[in-house]
Chain A
Amino acid sequence: MELVEIKHLSKSFDNKEILKDVNISISSGKIVGLLGKNGAGKTTIIKLINDLLTPTSGEILIKGKKVGVESKKIISYLPERTYLNKQMKVSEVISYFKDFYDDFDDNKALKLLEALDLSVDQKLAKMSKGMQEKVQLVLVMSRNADLYILDEPLGGVDPATRDYILDTILSNFNEDASVIISTHLISDIERILDEVIFIDRGQVILQSDADTLRNKEKASIDEIFRRMFRC
């Protein structure tokens, strides 16, 4: 059984079709790059998987089950925005995650926060946006989930922190889990990808194994992307 199966998925707002008949299949143990230009529909797909949007048609199955309470137990999601209650301290957010997610490892979270020099006694409201994003990444990667979905985890982050984030991602998920990373900063994540999915104007235009694609096109994923999406 596939970890994620998306069948004939469409999403419209008013009369504008944002996603058109999207079909995606993702198996366990893969790092998948969801790649596309800004506004291609990457975030819409991710939000649909996470029950933040309702499909116009089609279905999404996570381990064979429709999106719901059971799928949320096994998906760890990092949105592109800061979403925690800013009145909370970091320690309170850790307790919050521990209360709701059985797979949350608070010791791991504390270690990662310490490595980032982030105090657990600090209120989120007193932190910069970058620091808040790091706290969110720590929380998300401290779960022993089956599927991690990271929406633009490198957006607005300096190159040194990008490497740190990628290392954190790579060293904090188990081998049976899969990771979906949505980004348009392909060169930064290319080295860690097993599979790529190219999205353009709400449609999947390519889904392939990363190495196979590189060998076939004799170019890096970044170059292939630039070639395909040249304006």
Chain B
Amino acid sequence: MLKLLKYDLKYMVQNMSVFYILSIFFAVLVRLLNMLEQTVIINILQSIFSGCAIAMCANILINTMMRSWIRFRDSIYKDESYLTHTLPVTKSDIYNSKFLQTLIFFIIGFVIVLLSLFIAYYTKDRWMLIKGLINNMTTGLEFKTMTFVISFMVIVFLEVFNAIQCGFVGIVLGNKCNNGKIGFSVLFGFIAYLISQSVVLFLVFVVGLFNSSIMNLFTNNVLLDATSFKLLLFLSISFYVIAISCMSIICKNELNRGVNVE
């Protein structure tokens, strides 16, 4: 499996490194321009490069997602699959390699985005402002600032990773059809995503039946108390981990049952 992962990572490095470099490059330009005396032209250039840096950050996350899906489809169902499926490795290894490749590059993407934002926009004043805002939010929720930030990032990360997994499920199920594979892949992926989100909502509702504070989310505009917020956070993280694991099992089972390559 590690051999497969090595080549999958190599593929992603070849395709993603240019975006990482550009993102940091524009972030550095924004920072450098910020250090110069501010004139109209400098301000205009700063706005342009700032836009480029933000666009690159968004691009990194979107591209990681798209590349992961394309790589998954190409190596398992397109021409490259003639090599992938004739390698002396199990179907589970093939899947695990793609899963880890996506996970690793998503983490790298996240880190590069944060690094770019830090390079471009960090100032002591801004940091204090953000810290103050988060402190205001967390005081009522009895959270340490860092715990809150990390929890929030974990949730966002799991949510996006869940969407990627839904895409994998869609591709695997869509390619079981003999016709309209692309259309069915998109459809099944979308259905998988809707199901996963609906189950999260249903789960929160079920918990709400036993916890009036959480039920308030469905019945009025009252904010959650600290204990309920922590419970909700814990439930969300747990559910996403379970959902991602379940989708992995579905994909592996389907692949182990055999493929039908065009």
**B-contacting residues of A (Cβ < 8 Å)?**
13-14, 47, 50-54, 68-70, 72-73, 75, 77, 79, 81-85, 87, 96, 99-101
Contact = CB atoms under 8 A, between A and B. Distances in A.
Interface string B251-262: 000000111110
5 contacts: A53-B258, A54-B258, A69-B90, A84-B80, A99-B6
A50 B258 contact: no
Interface in B124-181: 178
A52 B85 contact: yes
A101 B87 CA distance: 8
B88 A50 contact: no
Contacts, number: 62
B261 A52 contact: yes
Given A53-B260, A54-B258, A99-B3, A73 B82 contact: no
Contacts of B258: 51, 53-54
B86 interface: yes
Count class of interface residues, chain B: 20 to 34
Contacts of B86: 50-52, 72, 75, 77
Contacts of A84: 80, 83
Contacts of A70: 88
Contacts of B85: 50-52
B184 to A, nearest CB: 14
Contact of B257 (A54, A73, A83): A54
Q: Is the interface of B mostly helix, strand, loop or mixed?
A: loop
Contacts of A82: 79
A52 B90 CA distance: 13
Contacts of B14: 87
Interface in B63-93: 79-83, 85-90
A73 B80 contact: no
The 6 A-B residue pairs with the shortest CB-CB distance in the complex, in nearest-first order: A54-B258, A83-B82, A72-B88, A52-B261, A79-B82, A73-B88
A100 B82 contact: no
B11 interface: yes
